[in-house]
Structure 1
Amino acid sequence: MTAIRVFLYEFVTGGGCWSLSNPQPPGGTLLTEGTAMLQSLACDLLAVGNLELHVLADSRLAPFWPEGSWAHEVNGGSDERRLLLSLAESCDMTLVIAPEFDELLLTRCQWVASVGGTLLTPNVNFVALAANKQKLADYLHAAGLPVPRSVALRNGEPLPRNFPFPAVLKPIDGAGSLAVQLVRTATELREYRSSRQSWRLEMFQPGTAASVSVLCGPQQNLVLLPGQQLLTKDGQFNYLGGTWPLAVGDQERAAKLATRVALALPATCGYIGIDLVLGPAGDGSDDVVIEVNPRLTTSYVGLRQLTRTNLAAAMLRVAEGLPVTVTWHDQALTYHVADMPLGDHTCIG
C-alpha cells in the first residue's frame, strides 16, 4: 500500500521567521512552544503507520525533527515559500501551524490553496474569520453565543464613551497573549493604544480561563477534555501552561459552550482551540467565549499525555468523516511551558 504523504508546517521551526521584518533566529517561548507542538504532532503522525512525513527546518536551528521524518532546510524567506508551495502540491495533505498576527497563518493557508493542496487544518475562510478577533466576536454574537462587550478601535479615533473599566486591550489579529494588556482607566488606554493601529477593547471577564480543543470534520466536531489555562497575573495574561481536568461541573459547562461554538462556526477540518472564561455563576450564565484559535495550540502537548488514543490518528479519522472515540486516563496533569522537554515525546500508537 502506498504511504500517505503528509506535510507538517510549523512557522517558528519551519523558517517562517526569515519572512519577518527583522529576521532574527527564532528563540524564547515561541521556539519552545513551536518545537513542542511540532515534535508532539509529528511523533503521533508517524505512529499512525504507512505515512511519509515532511517538515521544514530553519537552517539556524539544531536538528529537532523526529527520526523517520523528512526535513527540508530553509535558508531564507524565498526558500520557505518555495518549499511550502512544492510540498503542499506534492503531498496528500498539509497541516499548517502559524501565528495569526500580520496574516502569517492566513497567508500560508492561501499558499496551500493556491497549488491545490489539501489542508488538514482549518481552511482559508475559517482562518480569515477566526484570526480577526472583532469579526469573530460579531459573528458569534449574531449566532446567539455569549461574548464580552467590546468595541473595535483605531489610532486617531476618539475613545468610546462610558465604556466600563477594567477592560482588556488586544490586537485585532493577535496570537495568544501578544500585546494583550489589562487597562484600568481611559488614561491607561491612551498610553497603550499608540503602539498599534487596530485594537479590540473588551470588558474584563472575571472567572476561570478555560481552553477546549475540538477536532472538526464533516460528520462530527469532537470536543476534547477541557482544561484550565495558567496565565500570568501581571495584566498581560501571558500563557504559562495548562492543567487538567477542570472540576466536573466546569467541565460540563466548558464542553457544552465549546460544542455550541464549533456548531456555529463555518464548516472546517482539523484542530481548533476555543478559549473561554467560566464566570462565577454556577449555572454558566456568566460564561463567555474569548476567542477561537484556528490552528493547533500548545494544549495538544498536554492532551496527548492524558489520552489512551493517538490524537493525530483521531484527527485524520474525524477529517475523513469516520466515527471516533477518544478515551482518557483517570489522572490529573499540569504542565508549564518553561519546563517542556524538547526531543522527548513518547509516540502514542
Structure 2
Amino acid sequence: MDKSIIVFEYFTGGGLNQTQPDSFPTVEGYAILYSVIEDLKKSGYKTITTLDERFVSYCKLPADEQIIIPIGEDPLEKLKDFFGVVDGAILVAPAFKEALYRVTYFMEKHGVNVLGSNSHSVLEASDKRLTMLLLEEANFPVPKTKVADVGEDVDDVRLKVEEIGYPVIFKPTDGVGCSGASLVKDYSKIPQALNLVRKNTKTNYFLIQEFLDGFHASVNILTNGEEVLVLSLNQQNIKIKPPPKGLSYQGNIVPIIHPQAEKVKKTVKKLVETMNGLKGYIGVDLILTRNEVFVVDVNPRITTSYLGLRKISKLKLGEQIVKAGLGLKIPKKFPLKKGVTIISKLNLQPNKKPPLPTKNIEIFYLPNQPKNFLVATVYGKNLFEAKKCMKNFRKNL
C-alpha cells in the first residue's frame, strides 16, 4: 500500500466500546478524526481508521479503509493486518486511564512508526504530577503545587491547601479537558472539590495548585524531536467555577497576538529539550501573566485547536504532521492566511437538529448522545467578524 497512514481516534474508534463514552469528548474526537483524515488525503495519503459500530450510521468519514469495531472487541487487534504495510500511525487519545500511552506502546511494540511522541514522553505528559516535577527540575516557572492522596480526609487536605494559600485549584493528574478540576476559595468547598476529583480520576493522587490569575492560552507546535515550529498561539475559553460545577473547557480562538508570544516560543523550545521523546503535533496549555509563561499541561497529540488552525494554514497540515512524526526536516516558518477562527463547545436543545453548515461554519455533531453537544468552528476575516458569525450561529441553537 503506497503512502498510507493509520489514524486511530480513541472515543469514536472503539477505545470505549464496552461503555457509554462521554458525549463531548466523543464529538470532539469525531471532529479531529474527520479533519485529520481529510487533511492527510489532501496531502496524497491513503487513510485507514476504525469506527465503533454504534456510530456507523451517523459518523461519515472520508477514510479509504474503515474497520467497524463490534462492541467488546479490541480495535488495535483489528488494525494488526495493516501494521506491516502502512507508513505510520497518528494517534488521538486522552490521558485518562493512560489511554494514549497504552495505544502508543502497543503500536511501538508491533513495529509501527508512531507519527507522534514516544510512549515514554506520553507517559510523562499524561501524568500531570510527573509533568510538574520535570518542569520544576528544569527551572520552568510553575504554580505552587502539593500532591495529595485521593483518600485523604478533609483536614489533611486543608493543611496542604493552607501551605499554598487560598484560592487553589484541585485537579486530577489524569484529567482531560478540565474534567474533575475546580476552584477552591475557602475550607467549605474542600469536601465537594475532593468528591469531584474522585469521580474523575483513576489514579490514587491529585494536585492542589496555586490559582494563577492570568490569560488562558494554548500553543500548537510541530517538532521532529530537535527543531520546534510554533504553529499558532491561541486563546482558551475556560469557565472557572467552584465545585460541584468546576472548570470547563468551552473553546478556542485561533490565532491570537499576545505580548508574551516570543517568551512562549522560547518556553516550548525548552520544553521539547526537557521532555525527551516529544515529536509530531503537540498542544501545550499555558497561563500567561504579566511577567511569566506558566506551562499547565502538555498534550502529546492533536488537540481541538487544530480544527481552527487548519482553516488558516497556508501549508498542507497533514503532510507537515507526517514529516515531523518521521523526524524529517520541518519548515522554519508556518505561514497563516489572513483571518481568525473560533472553536466552540455548544449545547443543542433536546430533540433539535443543528443548523446547517455554511462556507464559514463547520459543524460536528453526533445524535443519540446522553448530552446534546456539538463542536462548531467559524471563520472570519478578523476577530470582530468571527465573533459576530459565532453569535448569530448561537441564536439558532
Which TM-score applies when normalising by structure 1? 0.89
The answer to whether the 8 A contact 1:18-1:76 is kept is: yes
2:346 is the counterpart of 1:317: no
Report the Cα offset of residue 333 of structure 1: 2.3
Higher mean displacement: 154-163 or 227-236: 154-163
In structure 1, the gaps of 5 or more residues are none
1:1-349 counterparts in 2 under 5 A?
Answer: 3-19=2-18, 23-24=19-20, 26=21, 28-49=23-44, 51-61=45-55, 62-157=57-152, 158-159=156-157, 160=160, 161-194=162-195, 196=198, 197-235=204-242, 236-279=246-289, 281=290, 285-319=291-325, 320-324=327-331, 325-338=333-346, 341-342=363-364
Alpha-carbon distance in structure 2 between the residues aligned to 1:86 and 1:167:
49
Higher mean displacement: 306-315 or 76-85: 76-85
SS of corresponding position for 1:64:
coil
Report the Cα offset of residue 111 of structure 1: 1.2
Alpha-carbon distance in structure 1 between the residues aligned to 2:271 and 2:256:
19
Runs of 4+ aligned residues of structure 1 deviating over 6 Å after TM superposition are none
RMSD over aligned Cα atoms? 2.2
Report the Cα offset of residue 256 of structure 1: 3.0
Alpha-carbon distance in structure 1 between the residues aligned to 2:16 and 2:275:
30
Report the Cα offset of residue 143 of structure 1: 0.7
The answer to whether the 8 A contact 2:37-2:62 is kept is: no
Report the Cα offset of residue 219 of structure 1: 4.0
The answer to whether the 8 A contact 1:232-1:239 is kept is: yes
Higher mean displacement: 303-312 or 316-325: 316-325
The answer to whether the 8 A contact 1:226-1:246 is kept is: yes
The residue type equivalent to 1:75 in the other structure is P
Ranked by relative contact order (alpha carbons within 8 Å, sequence separation 6 or more), the top structure is 1
1:254-306 C-alpha deviation (Å, 9 max, x unpaired): 33322322232213321111111001x2xxx2331111012111011111112
Change (3 A) 1:248 1:178: closer
Change (3 A) 1:134 1:340: farther
SS of corresponding position for 1:78:
coil
The answer to whether the 8 A contact 1:36-1:340 is kept is: no
Alpha-carbon distance in structure 1 between the residues aligned to 2:281 and 2:14:
22
Change (3 A) 1:94 1:164: same
Alpha-carbon distance in structure 2 between the residues aligned to 1:36 and 1:297:
10
SS of corresponding position for 1:213:
strand
Report the Cα offset of residue 80 of structure 1: 1.8
Identical residues among aligned pairs (%): 25
Higher mean displacement: 292-301 or 259-268: 259-268
1:181-215 C-alpha deviation (Å, 9 max, x unpaired): 11112332233224524211111111110000111
1:205-254 C-alpha deviation (Å, 9 max, x unpaired): 11110000111204412111101001124343311111133234133333
Alpha-carbon distance in structure 2 between the residues aligned to 1:304 and 1:277:
24
Alpha-carbon distance in structure 1 between the residues aligned to 2:206 and 2:74:
33
